[in-house]
Amino acid sequence: MTDRQRRKVSPEKAVRRFVSRHDGTENTVRSYSNRLQDFLLWADEYGIDHMHDLDGWAIDEYREYLEASENAPTTIKGKLTALTQLLKYCESLEVVEDGLHEKVELPTLTKEEETSDEKLEADEASRLLEHFRNSPRQRGTANHVLLELMWHVGGRISCFRALDLGDWYPDERKLEFRHRPPTRLKDGTEHERNVVVSEGVAEAIDFWIERERPEKRDDNGRKPLLTTNHGRASESTIRFWSYLATQPCLYRECPHNRDRPSCPYTDRSKSSKCPSSRAPHAVRTGSITWQLNRGLSYVRVAERVAASPETIRRYYDKPDYDEQLARRRPDTEGMDVLNREVDR
C-alpha cells in the first residue's frame, strides 16, 4: 500500500483515537496523552499533516527537537516510548507503513539517569508527623492523614485514592487495598493486599474520620476514605496535599528565607513550586528506603508497597552511605581474622 492509498489521519486524530482505545489503567492512559503532547506540537511546527508523512528522518528530527528542549533523558525516553506505541497502533490500522515504529531509537540510560534520588528523608518525615500529631489545628486534616498513610504504607497515589471508608478496620488497625474500577490499583487485583499500621497512624485516621472528613459519596455512590467537599479526592488533589504536608516551614524556619504567612508556595495551586516540598513519589521513595533501613526484607517491603523486589532495588531504595553501613554492620561487626567464631 502506497502513502497515497493510506487513510489520511492527522496526528491529533491519531493520538485522540489511540488514547481513547487504550485499555490500560487511568494513570497509563493519562501518561500516554501527556507524553504525546510534544509530538503534536512538533508535528504542527514541522508540517506533518498526516501520520503517513512520517518517516525515519522525521522521527529522528523529533528526537532532536526533544533534546533541544532540554528534556531530561528519562523524559525523552518516555516520550519516544509513547510515540512507539502510537505508531504500532497506526500500523495495525494501516495508517502508516509497517515497521515504522522500529525506526524510533530509544536512548540508553545509565542507572543514575533512570532513577531520581529525590526523597523525603526519614528525619524530616518524623519531624513533620510529630508536628501534625501535636498541632491542635492541623491534627487529623487531609494533609496530615495523607502523609501518615504515604509514609507508613509506602503505596502509590492510586492505592490511597481507591480506599473506601469500609476498607479501614480500626480495631485491627488494618487497611484493605482492593481493585474496584473505576478506582484502580496499578496492576489490578495483583496489587490487592491488607496492611497493618501503627497506633499513631490509626489515631490520625480515626481523628480524620470523626472530625475532619467531609461526609461525601463519589460518583458511583461509594464512600471514599479520602474525600473533599466534592467527593472522592482526585489524584491532583492528593498531589497538592502531599506538597503542602511536606513543607518544612510547618515546624521550623523556612530554609529559603521566606516568611510563611506571605509565601506564595503555601497556596494550594503553587505548593509544588516550593523547593523543599515533596511529591508523592519522593515520599514513597523515602518510605521504602526507611522501611528497608529498619530491617524489613525486600520481599516484605514489596508486599507492603505493591512492587516487585527488583523494582524496589532499582528505583526506590536510596540509602546514603551511613545507612548502607548500618545495614551491613550486623554482619560485619565481629569480622576479624583472629575471631574463629566468625569463620565457622
Across the beta sheet with 193-196, the strand order is 168-169, 174-177, 193-196
Per-residue confidence band for 74, with pLDDT thresholds at 50, 70 and 90 = confident
Give per-residue pLDDT as tens, 276-309. 999 999 999 999 999 999 999 999 999 999 999 9
Give per-residue pLDDT as tens, 200-256. 999 999 999 999 999 999 999 999 999 999 999 999 999 999 999 999 999 999 988
User: Of the given ranges (21-35, 47-61, 179-193, 206-220), which has the lowest mean pLDDT?
Assistant: 21-35
Query: Phi/psi at 169 (nearest 5 deg)?
Result: -115, 90
Q: What is the CATH class of 122-293?
A: mainly alpha
8 Å CB contact between 227 and 214 = yes
What local confidence, expressed as pLDDT, does residue 290 receive?
Answer: 97
What local confidence, expressed as pLDDT, does residue 5 receive?
Answer: 64
Q: Which helix (H) or strand (E) holds 194?
A: strand 193-196
End-to-end Cα, the chain, rounded Å: 73
Q: Within the chain, which residue ranges are assigned CATH 1.10.443.10? A: 122-293
Can you say whether the dihedral through the CA atoms of 105, 108, 113, 114 is positive or negative?
Answer: positive
Please, which residues bridge with residue 242 across strands?
none
What local confidence, expressed as pLDDT, does residue 343 receive?
Answer: 47
For the chain, state the CA radius of gyration.
24
Q: Which residue has the cell 545509565?
A: 110
> Measured over all CA atoms, what is the biggest interatomic distance in the chain, rounded to whole angstroms?
82
Query: Phi/psi at 128 (nearest 5 deg)?
Result: -65, -45
Average pLDDT over residues 146-163: 96
Please, which residues bridge with residue 174 across strands?
169, 196
CA distance 107 to 76: 8
One-letter amino acid at 84 equals T
Can you say whether the dihedral through the CA atoms of 220, 224, 227, 232 is positive or negative?
Answer: negative
Supply the CATH classification number for the domain 11-110. 1.10.150.130
CA distance 56 to 98: 12
Q: Which of the two residues, 16 and 72, has the higher pLDDT score?
A: 16
CA distances for 123 relative to 127, 147, 212, 317, angstroms: 6, 14, 27, 16
The DSSP code sequence of 9-55 is --HHHHHHHHHHH--S-HHHHHHHHHHTHHHHHHHHHHT--SGGG--
One-letter amino acid at 323 equals E
Q: Within the chain, which residue ranges are assigned CATH 1.10.150.130? A: 11-110
8 Å CB contact between 218 and 232 = yes
Average pLDDT over residues 45-73: 89
8 Å CB contact between 284 and 156 = yes
Average pLDDT over residues 48-76: 89
For residue 283, the SS3 value is: helix
C-alpha cell recorded at residue 204: 490520625
Q: What is the pTM of this model?
A: 0.71
